[in-house]
Amino acid sequence: MDISDAYFETPIGNAFLDYFTANGFAVARGLLEPGLIAAIEGLIRDGYTSLKAEFAAKEAAEAAPPVLGMSKVLLKRLKASEAYDQMMAHGPFLDVIERFIGPDIMVYNNCDLFINDPVDTNPATLKTLHQETWTGLAVHEIVTWIPLHPPAADNTICVVPKSHLFGMMPNRNRNLLPIEGFTPEPVVPVWQMERGDVLFFHPLLLHGTSGRGALRFSLGFAFKNAYLEATSVNTPWGYTGLRQGPMTRVRTILGNDLLTPLRTYGGKTSNAQNYVPPR
Ligand SMILES: [Fe+2]
């Protein structure tokens, strides 16, 4: 399948959502600031280089670095950075997420920094075709994949277009099981991406890693509507509120779920009214 029409310069339009609905994924071009993504890439790339150097100094030359563990360390650093906060507060990014799940937006704290390194041997970083619903996402959530630099066809994410319409696929030990008389459509790498582009995909979309080409860094986040239930996998990790819709803001001004009469009448409508939210 030719997916050259999967890339949208104006992702807020209906064509973007129509494409997503039909195919299970769509790329929003230039949704995040390329300079911000470059700064995040620098933080991650420099950190990874240092961690690998520290590891090499301590271990035998032939030892494979624990890439997955290093990505957890670097993700923690990223989440403590100003750049991370800026990304999660970026208005156009939240506007597109709002089109999928509504105005009350939360991001799961359980998220990913994907490091695809040719020296790595862990199968967890060279993912076979899978659905995010296998590992705990709900079908009412939206998934994003954000490369920190332009990926290549042999080191990027790959997708099976329209597979979100298959439903939950049978699997055993994290591998897709065949269904008699059924052959999914070909796998397609999504690689024509620049810094700032965001791939949105449905939690039921079959996707994986296209290969271990050159070193590649990307981020993965899932977003949920604040009022919809989280699954048991993600609930213990919690989530962070990013945006509140107008109905929620009114409830916040009223101050409590019992709607205590005239609680703020004649006075401040909020204890935090001097606080200017960043978005
Ligand atoms: Fe995945």
- pLDDT, one tens digit per residue, over 149-195 is 999 999 999 999 999 999 999 999 888 998 888 888 899 999 999 99
Q: Which CATH superfamily is domain 4-243 in?
A: q2cbj1_9rhob like domain (2.60.120.620)
- Centroid of ligand 1 to alpha carbon of 142 (angstroms): 12
- Centroid of ligand 1 to alpha carbon of 112 (angstroms): 10
Best CA proximity match to 104, nearest among 227, 203, 257: 227
The domain locations on the chain are: 4-243, 246-279
Express each pLDDT in 41-91 by its tens digit. 999 999 999 999 999 999 887 788 899 999 999 999 999 999 999 999 999
- Centroid of ligand 1 to alpha carbon of 18 (angstroms): 22
Taking the model in full, what pTM does it have?
0.93
- Centroid of ligand 1 to alpha carbon of 127 (angstroms): 7
Residue that is written with structure tokens 């699954």 in the block: 231
- Centroid of ligand 1 to alpha carbon of 253 (angstroms): 39
DSSP letters spanning 147-197 = ESS---TTTSEEE-TTGGGG-SPPEETTEEPPBTTB-PPPPEEE----TT-
Q: How far apart are alpha carbons 125 and 114 in whole angstroms?
A: 7
What are the residues whose beta carbons fall under 8 Å from the beta carbon of 254, sequence distance 6 or more? Answer: 260, 263, 264
Q: How far apart are alpha carbons 19 and 17 in whole angstroms?
A: 5
Q: Look up residue 218 and give its DSSP letter.
A: E
